[in-house]
Each structure stands twice: as structure tokens, then as C-alpha cells.
Chain A
Amino acid sequence: MSDVATDQRCQPCALKDNPYLPHLATLTLVREEGPNLMTFEAQFNDPEVARTFTYMPGQFIEVSVLGVGEAPFGLASVAGPHRPVRFSVQKMGLVTTALHGLSEGATIGIRGPFGNGFPVLAHKGKDIWIVGGGIGLPPLRSVIEYLRENCHDYGKVCIVYGARSPQMLCYKDCLLEWGREEAFELNLTVDVGDETWNGHEGFVPAYLEELAPSPENAVAYTVGPPIMIKFVLQTFDKLGWPKGQVFASLEAKMKCGFGKCGRCNVGPKLVCLDGPVFSAEELQHLPWI
């Protein structure tokens, strides 16, 4: 079970006490984000749900395409009354392909929020290092925007974000805004640059090592491909960061989202219920990679 002290999750907002019953929602934004990647925003049809649906950065939702199925996506927005929920989707399987075929105005189903989220409330007053790779940025956007809205509660926010190519950096509009934010430090890298790119080249963990963040009064949140997370955790180790200060969000195949269907276990932990966010301390005891 998750550490009670750092667990600030919002409980699922269930209709008729049935956590499997999705809230209907309407797509208000459908945007091409990159190769095979699209961003969606949805507003709940029921005004009461739209007003009360709340979540913490790092939690996820189950999105339904009626007639096709359901899949989990990390929330990319910050909760607030009547704010749309945002998530980004890479075209991979049945549900994601169906989502890519939808346009603004289409009806989808949303259940959640699920999972524990990043322990931002427990980390007030600290510097926050955000380390993302590829399509790991959308769930981190939830954290970053949260920190932006609550900037007086936190120290500096340092973002390290990389993708395989400049074209594959997502949320470019957000990156521009965050680059202008005074309390933020934005560090971008790509594995391989092109003629449009005059920034840093190299993998995220290597760049992180160059930047050499100090663990003093700081915590780090990372989301990305499993192999990147593995090396990011090793880098923080190398930089002398205590394992309790580094948090990663994992992915797994899921169906129910709240610990019943049984497929997302990593050893004795369920990614949907005990995660998706785990500290490096927890991860060292789990057979996750």
C-alpha cells in the first residue's frame, strides 16, 4: 500500500456508486500534437460532475469510446470547477485508434480519477525537478501547471525534457510558455537534432547528469519510457540523491483502474491502486524492469 503520509489522491467520482459507470463527456478540443499523437480536452455533460470532478497531478482516467472499449490515460490538466480535462493519446491499439478518429463534439466516457498521483502537497517549499521523455510530458504537464498555479508554495521548478527528435517534442506551446516563466528553468534536449534545432543533443539521463541538480531541499518527478526512467533513477543515484526524493510514474496494461481486474501488478503492487507513482525507494524492491 502507498505511504499514507504522501498519499493525497482524490477518490474516484462514481455515478450511482458504480465505479465502472463512465461519466459522459464531450470533446471540446482535438489537436494534432505530433506523429501519431493527439491531444484531447473534454467537458463533462453533467454540470454537477463538471463542477465537482477533481484530481491531483499524476492521477489518471479511464476513457471510453462507446462501441470500442476503454483505456487509461494520464491527466494532463489541472483540476478545477468546469475546467476541461486534458489527455494526450498515442495511436497504438483499438481504443487509441478510435480516439484518433474522433472530432470536437464527439461523446466519450470518462471514469476516475484513479491512482495516487505525485505527492505535491507533501513537497511544499521544495525545489521540484521534472524529468520527462517523449510522451511522458502530458502527465507531467499536470504537475507543471499545478506548480505554476501554486508557485508561492514551491521553490524553483526545473524541467528537463527530451524526445527522439525536435518533431517529437510535444506540447510545444506549453514549452514556450514555461520557458518564459520566471520561476521555471526549462532544459530541452533531443536524441538527434536537425536543421531546425540549435539546442542540446543527447539522451535525457545524460543531460540530467550534466545539469547535476543538487538534492538539497529538492524532489524529482519523472515520466517517460521505462528504459529512460531506469537510467534517470540511476543518474539521481549517481548524483547522490536519496531514493526517497525521486518519484516515477509507471505504465501498465489496465482494465478496471481500481484494483479489481488484476493485470497491472508489478510484483505485489498494483500500478492502478498503489501507483502509478512510486518512489525510487519502493521501485528498488519491485521487479518492474
Chain B
Amino acid sequence: MRTVLLTKPRLPAWLARIRQRSRLIAPVPDADGVLDWREVEDPAQVVLPPGAPELPLKKVFFPPSETMLRYAYRGDRAAVTDTPPALEPFVVFGVRPCDALAQRIADLVFLGDLPDPYYQARRQAATIISVNCTEALPECFCASLNNALTEAPGSDLLLTPLNGDYLVEALTAKGEALLAETADDPTAASEADLARKAEVAAQTAAQQTRQIDVEGLTELVRAAYHDEEFWKKQAEACVGCGVCTFLCPTCTCFDVRDDAVSGRGLRFRCWDTCQFADFSKEASGHDPRAQQWQRQRNRICHKFWYSVDRCGVISCVGCGRCLRGCAGHSDIAAAIENLRARAREEKPVTADE
């Protein structure tokens, strides 16, 4: 795979060339100044603040709401058609490594044996260009959880800022092809450049003040499952708004609804969350997660236990959005620390301690 250098002033021209070939999506401020994943008209619109942008990358592949089927019915006659997106290839630029990794984790749910055709169509059409972080936000904690800062799994190309240049690494054949077709006479990178990249990653990691210690974590979460008092305490400040899950780049739960008038209608899906009271409530009235603390427990158990059991990965990438968005200032890293403290208290004292 190719690794090249691109001087920083040449980035806009490169993005403009990419845009000539295909749609380019990147963090662009909306009318309210919120950074959203939008189509780029002019590379100057792209904004890359420290940390992950407010809205998660998942919405590019899994829109907050999308039509799945359209149908018409009259009397005993009916017709149904599906509406999977037919997409030309597109490029997403300015993805932070945590989001790229999160998308790969979402793939484990949406793809696999029986793929979700709507998600799959977008995923196959996309080439992801990640831009490495040089600055961490106080809420970031990816370095303690994964190798996103150094390996950027889920990215097709990875750009790492090195003083006046970007180190551009092709990580997949898709990324390699995009680079070959669009880079204008780039300079080959040296071993020294790669060493500088490692330094940048280490510096960014060192800025992160929050951490989640993953050692034996799944077992600890499992062991705490029935400790009702513990989970109630963790969920004390939770108002059940669900923002932690909507902003989470790996949360992919959805609702499916019908909307029809006069014999014509559509079936759509929209983001949903285990934090909402009716999420698991059955028509009979039975609700396996009737209390808010049970819903918060489900969120944390899902990230650190259920995902590990089902997919072999922790499904928290450390982007910190759930901390940034929470009205009650809940902190998933602190909850895990409390879990460890709980385990230490529970540990029986042995003779040699």
C-alpha cells in the first residue's frame, strides 16, 4: 500500500479533484453552526475541530430516518416495492479514527450472513478518508480502548498531520485506487515520516485524561449485572432522553413504522434507543426494562459485554460524544471506574493482604 506526503496547502485542490469525480461528504456546519455530515460544495466549507464532530459518522450509512418500502393497496389488491438506495461511489472526508472504527463495528450488526441491503449499498459505495487527531478533547478516551489513533481500522485512507504536511496512508485497495486517481504527483513518505506519525499518535493519546481499563472488563460487567443498587446509582442523573445512544457511533437500534393514507403508503425506519420507555415494551404491557436504570444498564452491558459475546469487540470507541451530550453529565468512563471500585470492595480479603 502506498504512503505519501501531501503538503497542507495542496489539500483543498486534492479535495476539489475528488469532488469532480464523485460526491464528497465531510463535516460542514449547518445553519445553526452544528457540524453535520453534508455534501461539500467547496473544500473551504470543511471544518475539522479537535475530537469527533458533534454528529456521528453512522448517519451517512444509517440515516436517522429512511424509507424502506412503498406500497399501494385497494380492496384485495396490493403491490409492494422496496427502495434500496442506488448509489454512485462517494467519498467521506474528515472522519476521525474513532468514527471509522465505529463504522466497522456497526458493520458486524448490519452486514454478516443476512446483510441489511440499505446499509450495505451505502457502505459499498463509500470510500472513507480519515484524518488523524493531533489534539484530544477532555472527553476523548479512545487510546485506552483501541488502536484507532495508530491503525485507524475502517478507514480506506488515513491522513496524519505532520507539521507542514499530511502523511497519507492507503489502508485498503479502495483507498489506494482513490489516491492513485486523484493525488497530483505526491512525494513518497520516508521511514522518518512514519516515525513522526507514531509520535503524533502518542502525543494525542497522552493528552487524553480519561481512560477505560479494559482488562477483565466484560467479566466485571457480567458480575455486576444483578447489583440493582449499583445500576440505580449510575443512572441517578439520567432523564432518559436517549442522546447518549443517538450520538453514539456504534448504537444502531431502529424502529420500523408504517405511514399511509388513502391506500398508499410507505414503511420507514428511524433511529430508536433502548433508553426510551416503549423500546422493549410488548403490546401485552410486559416490559423487560421498565425502569430507567435497567435501560442504562442495558446500554453499558451492551457496550462492554453483549458486543464482546456476539461480535468479539467492545462497542465503545471512546469518542466521548455521550459525555459531551448528556444533560445529566453522566460519564461512561466514570461508570466503568465505579464498576472497578465495586469489584475491589467486593473482593474478599485474603490472609496476606
- Is B279 within 8 A of A66, CB to CB? no
- Is B253 within 8 A of A21, CB to CB? no
- Is B288 within 8 A of A266, CB to CB? yes
How far is the CB of B254 from the nearest CB of chain A, in Å? 5
- Is A253 within 8 A of B116, CB to CB? no
- Is B272 within 8 A of A263, CB to CB? yes
How far is the CB of A127 from the nearest CB of chain B, in Å? 32
- Is A19 within 8 A of B114, CB to CB? yes
B82, B263, B305: residue with the most chain A Cβ atoms closer than 10 Å: B82
A283 and B298 CA atoms in complex are apart in Å by 18
Residues of B within 8 A of A19 (CB): 114, 116-117
Give the residues from 1 to 36 in chain A that come closer than 8 angstroms, CB to CB, to chain B.
Answer: 1, 11-12, 14-22, 24, 26
- Is B260 within 8 A of A262, CB to CB? no
A19 and B116 CA atoms in complex are apart in Å by 8
- Is A16 within 8 A of B82, CB to CB? yes
Tell me whether B246 is interfacial, beta carbon within 8 Å.
Answer: no
- If A24-B78, A67-B73, A253-B280 touch, whether A265 touches B306 (CB-CB below 8 Å) is yes
How far is the CB of B218 from the nearest CB of chain A, in Å? 10
Tell me whether B183 is interfacial, beta carbon within 8 Å.
Answer: no
Residue from the list A12, A67, A93, A287 in contact with B260, Cβ < 8 A: A67
Chain B interface mostly helix, strand, loop or mixed? mixed
- Is B80 within 8 A of A22, CB to CB? yes
- Is B76 within 8 A of A105, CB to CB? yes
> Which residue in chain A gives the minimum CB-CB distance to B116?
A260
Residue from the list B76, B109, B110 in contact with A107, Cβ < 8 A: B76
Chain A interface: which size bin? Answer: 35 or more
Residues of B within 8 A of A14 (CB): 114
Tell me whether A174 is interfacial, beta carbon within 8 Å.
Answer: no
- Is B283 within 8 A of A20, CB to CB? no
Residue from the list A20, A92, A268, A287 in contact with B68, Cβ < 8 A: A20
Residues of B within 8 A of A (CB): 68-69, 71, 73, 76-80, 82, 84, 109-110, 114, 116-117, 225-226, 252-258, 260, 263, 265, 267, 269, 272, 274, 279-284, 286, 288, 298, 301-302, 305-306, 309-310
Q: What are 10 contact pairs spanning A and B, CB under 8 A?
A: A14-B114, A24-B78, A24-B80, A68-B260, A251-B282, A261-B272, A264-B280, A265-B298, A267-B301, A268-B305
Can you name 19 extra interface pairs (CB under 8 A) apart from A67-B263, A253-B279? A15-B82, A19-B116, A22-B80, A66-B71, A66-B258, A66-B265, A69-B256, A71-B283, A107-B76, A107-B78, A255-B254, A258-B114, A259-B109, A261-B256, A262-B252, A263-B274, A267-B301, A287-B226, A288-B288
